[in-house]
Amino acid sequence: MTAIEEELLKLHDEKGALVADDVLERATSLTNPLHAYFEWDDTVAGHEYRLVQARQLIRRVRIEVPAKRHPDRTEHLRAYVKVPGASWRHIDDVANDPVTVKLVLNQMRRDWLNMKKKYEDYAEFWGMVIEDPDVNDRAAAVTDR
């Protein structure tokens, strides 16, 4: 077991669960094995946090488009798509560039495989994937596009 694993297990056993605030509090000690995994320079950490906030703002922007399977309805999609290895691009720009579409679809596949790997041992996960009408309707709508 690594020092990180030991420290997190010890904290979990003490508190009954792991909470980021508790991990951070424990890591403030210079002698704690977790200390080295945090950025303690507030100017650097502050900038990194603001980058997180900027990404959250980008993800919040939605556009309204006609629903493919229900012409009398609309659906809201993210206006900007994260292009792997690049930046955020407007969904219309992505849709009109076959190379970018391929990059985004490859990332979707990696995301799906990671989620599948994470939850594949849970029967409930497969029940959600197979039986959820929202998932099936959405997959059909995407296929129809």
Sequential pLDDT tens for the chain (145 residues): 899 999 999 999 999 999 999 999 999 999 999 999 999 999 999 999 999 999 999 999 999 988 887 888 998 999 999 999 879 999 999 999 999 999 999 999 999 999 999 998 988 888 888 876 665 565 555 555 5
Same domain, 78 and 135: yes
CA dist 95 and 102 (Å) reads 10
Q: How far apart are CA 92 and CA 79, in angstroms?
A: 8
Q: Per residue, what are the HEC states of 86-142?
A: CCEEEHHHHHCCHHHHHHHHHHHHHHHHHHHHHHCCCHHHHHHHHHCHHHHHHHHHH
Is residue 32 included in any domain, yes or no?
A: yes
Q: Are residues 21 and 61 in the same domain?
A: no
What pLDDT is stored for residue 135 in this prediction? 59
What integer pLDDT is reported at residue 114 of this predicted model?
A: 95
Q: Is 34 found in the same domain as 60?
A: no
Q: Are residues 121 and 76 in the same domain?
A: yes
60 and 87 in a single domain? The answer is: yes
Q: Are residues 126 and 81 in the same domain?
A: yes
Residue 43 forms part of a structural domain: no
Q: Specify the pLDDT at position 85.
A: 84
Q: What is the pLDDT of residue 131?
A: 78
Q: Determine, yes or no, domain membership for 79.
A: yes
- The two tokens of residue 90 are 């407007």
* pLDDT at residue 54, as a whole number: 92
pTM strictly above 0.75: no
* Residues 132 and 66 placed together within one structural domain of the fold: yes
CA nearest neighbour of 38 among 52, 51, 26, 53: 26
Q: Is 113 within 8 Å of 99 (Cβ atoms)?
A: no
Residue 22 belongs to a domain: yes
20 in the same domain as 60 = no
- The token pair at 32 is 């704690």
Q: Based on the fold, state whether residues 59 and 85 are members of the same structural domain.
A: yes
Tell me, yes or no, whether 17 and 78 share the same domain.
Answer: no
Q: Are residues 19 and 62 in the same domain?
A: no
Quote the domain boundaries for residue 100. Answer: 55-144
In a domain, 46, yes or no: no
Q: How does strand 62-66 pair with strand 88-90?
A: unpaired
Are 69 and 125 in a shared domain? Answer: yes
Overall domain count for the chain: 2
**What does DSSP assign to residue 10?**
H
Is there a domain that residue 45 lies in? Answer: no
What size, in residues, is the chain? 145
